[in-house]
Amino acid sequence: MNYVVLSADGMIAACQDRQLRIYSFQGKLVKQIKGAAGDDGQLTRVRLDPSGIYAAAVCTNRNVYIIDLATGEFAAVLTGQSDNITDIAFSADCRRLYVVSYSGCIFVWRLSNFLVNKMMARKSQAVKNIGILGIEKFCERSETPDSLLGSGSDAAGDEHMEYNRNAKVKFYYLFFFF
């Protein structure tokens, strides 16, 4: 296992054999899903979208795979990265996927309307089922505004930014390595 993320039902592990393994909180293997196409590389990161329908898995072959957790099928494959990928994150509005490369570049991928609509429908259904104070508070994720992303030689080292939105202070850590 290279990376583990918690879901509402258990844990999802990104494994060296390019598989996503879903475990219950009791540690029982519930499901195993192919996390990358081809026979090369290994999974290094996995992240869930805010609705919990899709997982984005990073492979050392420099691709990001968006996988439907219910069916195990690839919903999308993001290719074209020239450098290793160090992290990924979905935006809170389910419209974008942020991909961070080893060189410090941040790529913003706009997701298809089909994926966005499916995630938003699931997210709103979860709020109706659990109640407004339940899942919304638990699943709240901060979104990085485009105006706070920095790059260039003046962004050497660790950078700490604060952003006040709707009277809430949110912190963003951007790491640039040159």
pLDDT at res. 176: 41
- Give residue-wise pLDDT tens across range 19-49: 999 999 999 999 999 988 888 889 999 999 9
One domain for residues 92 and 163 = no
One domain for residues 77 and 38 = yes
Q: What is the CATH number of the domain that holds 78?
A: 2.130.10.10
Token look-up 């930014």 returns 161
pLDDT band for position 140 (cuts 50, 70, 90): very low
Using CA of residue 94, residue 142, residue 52, residue 60, what is the dihedral sign?
Answer: positive
Full-model pTM = 0.69
One domain for residues 14 and 93 = yes
Arithmetic mean of pLDDT over the chain: 77
- Give residue-wise pLDDT tens across range 49-99: 988 889 999 999 999 999 999 899 999 999 988 899 999 999 999 999 999
Residues 84, 62: contact at Cβ < 8 Å?
yes
Identify any residues that bridge with 58 across adjacent strands, giving them in sequence order: 45, 64
pLDDT at res. 122: 84
One domain for residues 128 and 159 = no
One domain for residues 175 and 117 = no
One domain for residues 164 and 100 = no
pLDDT at res. 164: 33
Largest CA distance in the chain: 49
Q: What is the extent of the structural domain holding 149?
A: 145-178
Q: Is the pLDDT of residue 169 over 70?
A: no
Straight-line distance from the first to the last Cα atom of the chain, in angstroms, rounded to the nearest whole number: 29
Total number of domains in the chain? 2
One domain for residues 86 and 136 = yes
Residues 103, 156: contact at Cβ < 8 Å?
no
Token look-up 């990001």 returns 64
Question: How many other CB atoms sit within 10 Å of the CB of residue 169?
Answer: 9
Residues 107, 98: contact at Cβ < 8 Å?
yes
Over residues 95-113, the mean pLDDT reads: 92
pLDDT at res. 167: 33
One domain for residues 102 and 134 = yes
Q: Is the pLDDT of residue 160 over 70?
A: no
Q: Is the pLDDT of residue 152 over 70?
A: no
